[in-house]
Structure 1
Amino acid sequence: AAPSAVRDAAGLLADRVGRYAYVSSRSVYAWPPAAGLAEDGPLVAGSPDDGDVPYAEAKRGGELAVEAAFGADRTLFVRAGLILGPYENVGRLPWWLNRIARGGPVLAPGPAESPIQYVDVRDLAGWTLDAVAAGLSGPYNLVAPPGHATMGGLLGACVRATGSGAELRWTAPEELLAAGAEPWTELPVWLPPGETYDAMHTADVSRALAAGLRCRPVAETVADTWAWLESLGGVAPQRPDRPGVGLPPEREAEVLAALAGR
């Protein structure tokens, strides 16, 4: 929502409820955020009076709007990173599950041991409710800790959950980039080493862990998302304001063929 909408809502609620938990984003940190960035990192500019502004500025403006209405002691900022799990309407994990369920050789972005950070939506929701009940305030980075998940662990769990005979063809980042494969969009979740990887997959979440964050196993997130996806006939909902993700089959075949020919 636009910061001005958050401002108006917070203003109406300030004298009626005890606390405000605002699900923000790690995008509020100034670019490029350093690897291992904690909650005290530099932030983008934002205003509670802003209307339609870019995502990072909108989230920061929303934070400022809530804090202005409720005060710092009654405000909780849940700075989420990548969110996965059942009911996802962006399509990242659903795309990988559907692709791997089709079987055959799968272009798998490596290295397999590359750590990734996301949070299961149910873990995010549970932690937020507990944090509000405990009276926590201030900002918290909300993703799983480093080492909880890897790209190989995520895609391997997809193979097991779907029961497919897919063969993961692990491919080095430099080879993928040379072949023109697009990180994050064509190959969801994956990012090559660099600033964007550091921003998305190396957050310091020690504050949230100390405040009770517990993250379910990767296999559980993947299996539950697959069960949900199957209940929908394999077609996940898609937000109308977001483009679809994933490599089209013909594009994946082209990249695999090009890599095999080297």
Structure 2
Amino acid sequence: MRLRLPEERPAEPPTGYKIAHPMLSQDGTRAGFTGVSLGGALPYGVLDEARCVYGLRHRAPARLCDCGFHCVHDRAAAEALLCTGEHRAAVLLEVSVLGSYIRFELGFRYARQRVRCATVGPCACGAAAVALADAGWGRPGWRALAAACAGCVRGRTSVSLASFARLAGEGLRVRAAGGAAAGAGAVADESCGSSGPARLSGNLGVPELVAEAALLQARLDWFQGRLARLGERGPGAPPQGSPPQG
């Protein structure tokens, strides 16, 4: 006799938590995420459908396979994963579990999801993040991003938190840990930790504009420093580090 799992029909989509790496497309026009373990080779959008990572044609989540999106029930359990060395650069996601799902003791494995909020940790130097900058690795067609403060962005490919939310779309909210939300959400989400009044879609509040200004100023300072060094060497000098000719 084949046992069947009990079916659930919740009135609202369940909420789950997970960690992931923010990603930026090569042309800089799209933003998304990639997982930290199973399925990490397949970047996904804010609203996306799971595919079998083994290339099988069944629909996720299949009972006899590991495919599907994964998340945990408890926010603290997801935050604990950020303590490990290999996951320090990841961000915390709050997601809505959509479509069919399989419930486990600690979380869900499910077919579709909507990422509602991404919480970005501090820069590697310890300062609060104002941007997501090139992390030095990626996937074909995608750059991985990591939290960066205004002083550490320099000339790296980067986007502000508000710009990442806009590129990702679907009402995603992005916030720096301990800071205010930045994004295109129509309503502030207390579970995401946002503060301040609700904002209309497409509008930026004072914290987001301050972060944008800090990022622009950091880039301007970096370019001015490069120009100053070039001026000291003279217009005909070889690039720094070039071997002598002759």
Q: TM-score, normalised by structure 1?
A: 0.26
**Greater relative contact order (CA < 8 Å, ≥ 6 in sequence):** 1
Higher percent of residues as strand: 2
Q: Which has the larger radius of gyration?
A: 2
